[in-house]
């Protein structure tokens, strides 16, 4: 196919625009990584851009010796893993009946879910509810109140709607119950949707900050993002149990950048394993038959 001059110019414009957008997202991350591996002299003199100057891993040695970093990391992993499992289980079990036309009152339930998507509950009622349930100062406060996202519920419901009715009818004839159909038929056919929702929920749990500030007082339950905020904005790293002799040879900025890398890389490593399903799931509803 021969492209016209206008099409060639349009393609070139798209390449330049998307390349610029990509660089605007990648270059800040490269700058952070470069600073985390640079010495204090190079950072303080402003010589570090996108490549480490005076290569050192001292910042990473320092933060890996800080017990509070490991406590926050442990809590974030627990909240992300178990919270995502709870999210997927509860979202799927609600999305499935809402996707079947034979279930009564599904429209009323959809309207109530849509209402929560438009109007969210204020902070004080949420706090009082969490307190009455006895979830304060527990990791459950970071998982159960956010068990179902209304937006993700609608996306998963849209995927479930495309499951062939003939397949479910044949399963009913063979004696399958509703939970067995959901577990054996609907969910295996919905891997792209589950992967998409899993990534969205996992990222939200990993970045959980405001709820931890509101509901968690004991430092043994704070997630990694709260500890990251203390280091980046209040420079409280010197109050940890790390030896002061190592701090003397490192830049505070380099330490902050290393903490950001440690807090960002784990959740980024999950995406490549789910990339294929994630792309398919993001296409839900974009093509009409």
CATH of the domain at 209: 1.10.3720.10
Q: Number of structural domains, the chain?
A: 1
Report the pLDDT value the prediction gives residue 237, as an integer from 0 to 100. 57
Residue with token string 């969490």: 130
Specify if 85 maps to a domain: yes
The residue segments making up the domain with residue 171 are 74-222+273-282
Specify if 197 maps to a domain: yes
Note the Cα 144 to chain centre separation in Å: 16
CA distance 168 to 172: 6
Specify if 60 maps to a domain: no
The CA distances from residue 229 to 21, 40, 62, 109, in Å, are 27, 21, 17, 39
CA distance 199 to 282: 11
Specify if 263 maps to a domain: no
Dump pLDDT digits (tens) for 87-112.
999 999 988 888 888 888 888 888 88
Mean pLDDT for each consecutive 10-residue tract of the chain (289 residues)? 79 90 87 84 79 80 80 90 92 88 84 85 86 89 87 86 81 80 83 83 88 87 84 60 57 79 80 64 48
Cα dihedral value 124, 129, 132, 138, nearest 10 = -90
Report the pLDDT value the prediction gives residue 78, as an integer from 0 to 100. 93
Report the pLDDT value the prediction gives residue 286, as an integer from 0 to 100. 47
Q: How many residues does the chain have?
A: 289
Which pTM was predicted? 0.78
Specify if 95 maps to a domain: yes
Specify if 146 maps to a domain: yes
Specify if 160 maps to a domain: yes
Note the Cα 175 to chain centre separation in Å: 39
Specify if 147 maps to a domain: yes
Helices and strands (H and E) in the chain: how many: 16, 0
């Amino acid at each position: 196919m021969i492209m016209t001059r206008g099409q060639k110019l349009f393609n070139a414009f798209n390449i330049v625009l998307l390349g610029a957008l990509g660089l605007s997202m990648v270059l800040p991350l490269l700058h952070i990584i470069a600073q985390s591996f640079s010495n204090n002299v190079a950072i303080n003199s402003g010589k570090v851009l996108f490549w480490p100057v005076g290569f050192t891993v001292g910042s990473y040695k320092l933060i890996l010796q800080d017990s509070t970093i490991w406590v926050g990391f442990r809590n974030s992993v627990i909240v992300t893993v178990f919270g995502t499992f709870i999210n997927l289980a509860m979202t799927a079990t609600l999305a499935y009946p809402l996707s079947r036309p034979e279930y009564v009152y599904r429209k009323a339930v959809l309207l109530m879910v849509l209402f929560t998507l438009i109007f969210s509950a204020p902070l004080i009622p949420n706090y009082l509810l969490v307190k009455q349930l006895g979830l304060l100062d527990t990791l459950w406060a970071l998982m159960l109140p956010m068990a179902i996202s209304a937006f993700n519920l609608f996306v998963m419901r849209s995927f479930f709607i495309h499951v062939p009715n003939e397949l479910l009818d044949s399963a009913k004839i063979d004696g399958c119950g509703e939970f067995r159909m959901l577990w054996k038929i609907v969910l295996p056919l919905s891997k792209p949707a589950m992967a998409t929702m899993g990534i969205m929920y996992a990222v939200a749990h990993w970045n959980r900050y405001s709820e931890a500030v509101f509901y968690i007082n004991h430092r043994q339950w704070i997630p990694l993002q709260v500890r990251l905020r203390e280091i980046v904005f209040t420079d409280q790293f010197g109050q940890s149990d790390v030896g002061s002799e190592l701090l003397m040879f490192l830049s505070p900025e380099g330490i902050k950048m290393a903490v950001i890398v440690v807090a960002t890389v784990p959740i980024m490593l999950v995406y490549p394993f789910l990339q294929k399903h994630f792309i398919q799931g993001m296409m839900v509803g974009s093509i009409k038959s």
